[in-house]
Amino acid sequence: MLSVSANPKSITISGGRCEEQDVLTPAMREWMIGRVHLAINETSGYFRVRRRSAPLQFERSRGVFWRLYEENGEDPEPRCAKDAALMYRLPVAESYCNEGVEADAVFFPTMAQHVPGVAGWGTDVMRDQNGRPLFLLMGWSVPLTPELRAQEERTGAWRRTVVHELIHGLGFSIQQFREVAVRSGGSRSIVELREMVDVDGSRDDVWVATGPRTVSTTACRLFLAGRVIKPMALCSRWRSPSSISTARR
C-alpha cells in the first residue's frame, strides 16, 4: 500500500523568476491527485512483497548528509526524515515519526520544473536497512491547459508517465539493472547501452535488456498482449492475457 502526499505549494523557481509553466494551479493539482490515485490503485497489484504488520515510522536523525547541512548553516539537531526534508524540500510531517503511516511506502508527487520534452522523473529518497525504498518522489510536468489534459486523457499519456516514474521510485533503475545480485555472489549487468537506428534514420544510444530471463519473460508478455506473433515455449505458464499491461513512453 502506498500513502500519497500531495504538496499544494509545488511552485518551482526558474532562473530567479517563477514562470507561468512552473505554477501548479488548483485545477492542475486536483487533476494530478486524481490520476496519481488511479495509477497507484492499478500498480498495487503488480508486486508481490511482504506487507508491513505495523505503521511505517521514519527515524529522527542528523541525516546522511549531516556534514553538508552544517557547512551550509542548517540546524544540526536530529529531525524527522531529515534528508527528505532538506535535500528534497518535502513537507515531512512530525506524525511520520510519531504515529507513523498505515502504508508500506510514502509517495510524494510534485510539480516538476517545466522542461520541454520531459514528462517527469522519479526516484527514491529514503530506504530501510534492507535497501527497500520507503520514501518515493516523482516530479511531473503536469499539462498546463484543460485542452492538454484532455489530450492526455484520450491517449493515456498521464498513466504512462505516473507508472513509469513510480516504478523508478520503487527502485527500478539503470543503476540497479547494472548491478543485479547473483546467487554465487557479486553482481552482473542485465542491460547494455547500444546504438539504435530510429525510423527516421537518426541514431540514439539506448539501454537494452540482455538478461535471458528478462528477455524471454518480456517477449512472452508481448506475445500474449498481441504485440508479437511468434510464440515462445515459456508462454505456457502465462494463462490469461487479462493480466498483461504494456506501457509505452
pLDDT at 244: 31
Q: Is residue 70 one of the residues assigned to a domain? A: no
Residues 165 and 227 in one domain: no
Residues 200 and 166 in one domain: no
Q: Is residue 69 one of the residues assigned to a domain? A: no
Residues 13 and 38 in one domain: yes
Residues 163 and 190 in one domain: no
Give kind and range of the element (H or E) at residue 19: none
Give kind and range of the element (H or E) at residue 43: helix 26-43
Q: Is residue 80 one of the residues assigned to a domain? A: no
pLDDT at 12: 39
Domain end (from 146, 172, 198)? 172
pLDDT at 225: 55
Domain end (from 147, 172, 197)? 172
Cα distance between the two ends of the chain: 25
Residues 150 and 206 in one domain: no
Residues 133 and 198 in one domain: no
- Read off φ and ψ for residue 37, nearest 5 degrees: -65, -40
- Name the residue range of residue 224's domain: 185-243
pLDDT at 227: 54
- For residue 3, what are the β-bridge partners? 106
pLDDT at 223: 61
CATH code of residue 148:
3.10.170.20
At residue 207's C-alpha, the angle toward residues 163 and 116, to 5°, is: 60
pLDDT at 242: 33
Q: Is residue 81 one of the residues assigned to a domain? A: no
Residues 117 and 159 in one domain: yes
Q: Is residue 75 one of the residues assigned to a domain? A: no
Domain end (from 172, 199, 227)? 172
Residues 163 and 197 in one domain: no
pLDDT at 7: 43
Q: Is the dihedral of CA 144, 150, 153, 156 positive or negative?
A: negative
Number of domains in the chain: 2
pLDDT tens figures, 41-59: 887 777 766 777 888 888 8
Residues 128 and 165 in one domain: yes
Residues 11 and 47 in one domain: yes
Residues 124 and 206 in one domain: no
pLDDT lower than 70: segments of the chain: 1-18, 48-49, 114, 221-249
Residues 168 and 189 in one domain: no
Q: Is residue 96 one of the residues assigned to a domain? A: no
pLDDT at 213: 75
